[in-house]
Structure 1
Amino acid sequence: MGEFSEYLHVYGAPGGADSQIVDNLASLWRTLEKYPFTRDSFNPYGLYRPGGQGLIPWAMSVTAIEFYWAADAEVPPEDWPVVARTEASSWQRLPMSASECLFRVLTDVTFEEFTIADQVERPYFTPHAA
């Protein structure tokens, strides 16, 4: 759990009962149940339920860029693509792993809409206190 270059907060899942990923997904489900009209904001993917398909959040930028896995219970997790969106854009499927996406956000100036490579000379990580 922590933040890269004071920009991208990556949710943690250290194991046991402590998982920001699971907590954030559960929070999103509660929001959708309370405000059903917000379901459309996750189309065409929907949110993940165990055994099915849908989005699982793994990171959020300070500029409100959302990063999710497009999860599918029938596909190995290492093959789940990243899906991301900015406040001004629709979902974009990024055929890469979360680690490659993170690397490109931090270092690749050609990774338009998502990169901070031109703003941060040397990426760094700040862990969150447990």
Structure 2
Amino acid sequence: MDFNKLFIIYPLMLVLVAIFWFFSSRRNKSKQEDYAAKFLKRFPNAVKIYTQRSGGFIVSYNLQIYSVNDELPAAFSDEQGSGFYCKTGKNIIEVEYSTTRPGVIYRTVTKSTGATKIEVETKAGENYFFYFDKDTNSFKLDIK
């Protein structure tokens, strides 16, 4: 194959992948927003629960919400952060917290709580912050 053709084909493939990624992420975001809007119609007095952000430089951490009351979480994102909507009253949240760090012998070392079901109580008109407390090794829900 001629090298001049490669200089045309590879950038064209890269542009097509970028276009596909852009449109699929927009479609995904609109699906999440529609799901959250339907959830708010069903439960107009739902509360916002902000979650601990993923991140870290050397040691990375992640808080993953799998379900709220055995349903997909209705996610949101605003100026204050991101999280999910929750009904008022008692709720069961299935969540997992994991940390990953560079290892000495192995490439990386990951520790996880595994999928854990946590029961929380919420009140109308309040915003909450859900996080993993490393000192007590447990999940916490505080009023924001």
TM exceeding 0.5: no
Higher strand share: 2
Q: TM-score, length-normalised on structure 1?
A: 0.29
How does the TM-score come out when normalised to structure 2?
0.27
